Amino acid sequence: MSGPEKSAAVPSSRLARLARLGSLASGVAGGMLAEGVRQWSRGNRPSVGDLLLTPGNAQRVADQLSRLRGAAMKVGQLLSMDAGDLMPPELAAILSRLRADAQPMPMSQLVPVLETAWGAGWDSQFERFSFTPLAAASIGQVHAAQLKGGERLAIKVQYPGVRQSIASDVDNVATLLRLSGLLPRTLDFAPLLEEAKRQLHDEADYLKEAAYLESYRGRLAAEGDFALPAVHAGLTTPDILAMTFMDGVPIESLAGAPQAERDRVLGLLFELLFREIFEFRCVQTDPNFANYRYDEGSGRLVLLDFGATRHFSERCIAAYRRLLWAGQVGDLDTLSAAAIDIGYFQVDIDPAHKRQVLDIFLTACEPLRHEGPYDFGASTLAVRIRDVGLRLGRDRSFWHTPPADALFLHRKIGGLYLLAARLKARVDIRAIFLRCLEAVPAGAAGE
C-alpha cells in the first residue's frame, strides 16, 4: 500500500454496495451504447470488446470498484494479477487499473470505527494519532500512532462493512463480468469464486493475520536478515491490527543500490519463498512490492502484511516439489504427472493445449536450470511467459480454472520475478533451490 491522495466514504450497507454495482453496470452499458452509435455512424462494425474497452468505461469500472473497496476491488485485483494472461486483453486492461491504491475513508467514518473497537476515550492512551493514513488498499488503511509511553505503532483499520459484504460483492462482480460477455458461459469459475470468498474472509480477520505475523516472527527472528513488526495484542481486534512501526524505504528504491546488495536482497527473498513452500508449507502469497521495505541502517528486509498467508496441504507441496524438480532438470514426463496431480489439466484436454501449458512451466523454471547467477534484468522471461499465456487465452476452448492454491502460489512467484527484473538482480536461483530442497527431505515439512 502507498500513500493516498483523497478520501471517499466506503458504502457499508449491502443495499448501498449493490446500488453502486448497479450504477456501474448501467453506466458501462450506456457507455457501450454511445460508443456503438459513434462507431456505426462512421461505418465501423466494432466488436463487444471494442465497445467495452473505452477510456470512459475503464474509468467507470476502476473508480466504482475502488470506492467499494473490499471484495469487489480485491476480486478485480486478483483476476488482473493471477489470470490476466489467460483472459481477453479487454478485460485484463480494465481490471489492471485496480492495482492502484484505493481511496481512504474520511475521518468522519474512521472515528466511529475506532470508537466501536476501542471504546469512548480511546485517544487518551495515545500521545499522537495521525488521522491521515499512510496507505490505503482494498480492505483497510494504515495510520501512524505513538502511545503515551513512547512506542510507535502502525495501526491497520478495516473499512466498515467489508467482512459482511464479501460473499455478495464477489457474486455481484462475477455477475457483472459474465454480463460483459468477456467471460465464456462455459467457464466454471464457481470453485475459484468460493475460494476467493474464503481467502478474503481470512484476510479480513486481523486476529488471524496477527497470528501469522507472530508465527513468521518466531521462525525468522533469530536470522539477522529479516525484520518483522511485533503485534500489540492489547489494541488488536478482528477489525484493527496494531503493530510496532517499522522504519525503512520502499524496496524499489534499491534500484540505485550496488549490484551486490540488489543480488543479496533478491536472493534472500527467493530463499524465503522456497523455505515457505518446502519447510513452512505456508506462503505469504501477496506479491505487492509495498509488503517489503528495506532498512538502510541494518541492511535488513522488513516484511509486512500477512493477511494473504495460506497453508498448503502436504499433497500439494509434494506435487509442487516434483513439478519444480522436473522443471529444473527438464523432465517433461514428471512435469506432466505433477501438473495433473496439482489439477492443471482437465481429463479431456487437447494434447496441443497440454503441451503449451507444459511449455509455460518449462519457461517459468528457466532460472532453476541456469548455471550460476540468473540475470533477471537482461532476461525476457516475463514477456515470453506472457506471450504463451496470451496465445492460450485467445482460444476459449482451452479456458480452464486452475486450483486456487496454484493461482495464489503463482501470484507470489510471478511477483518475485517482477521485483527481480525491476531491480535488475542476478541470483543463483538453481543453487538456492537445490539447497532448500535438500534441507527439507520429501514429506518432512511441518505446519
Burial 242-253 (b: 16+ CB within 10 A, else e): bbeebebeebee
**Active-site annotation holder among 239, 286, 405, 428:** 286
Burial 432-444 (b: 16+ CB within 10 A, else e): bbeebbeebeeee
Kindly state the cell numbers that stand for 313. Answer: 496441504
Reply yes or no on whether 286 is catalytic: yes
Residue 93 · residue 180 · CB < 8 Å:
no
DSSP at 300: P
> Which residues does 191 contact at the CB level (< 8 Å), separation at least 6?
401, 403, 404
For the chain, first and last CA: distance in Å?
29
Tell me the C-alpha distance between 399 and 397, whole Å: 6
String of DSSP letters for 46-109: --HHHHH--HHHHHHHHHHHHHH-HHHHHHHHHHHHHSGGGS-HHHHHHHHGGGSPPPPPPHHH
CB atoms within 10 A of CB 323: 22
Tell me the C-alpha distance between 132 and 142, whole Å: 9
Kindly state the cell numbers that stand for 374. Answer: 540468473
Tell me the C-alpha distance between 25 and 220, whole Å: 47
> Which residues does 198 contact at the CB level (< 8 Å), separation at least 6?
none
Q: 3-state class of 136 per DSSP?
A: strand
Phi, psi dihedrals of residue 431, rounded to the nearest 5°? -65, -40
DSSP bridge pairs for 144: 154
- Strands lying side by side in the sheet with 301-303: 226-227, 301-303, 292-294, 249-250
Phi, psi dihedrals of residue 404, rounded to the nearest 5°? -60, -40
Residues with catalytic roles = 286
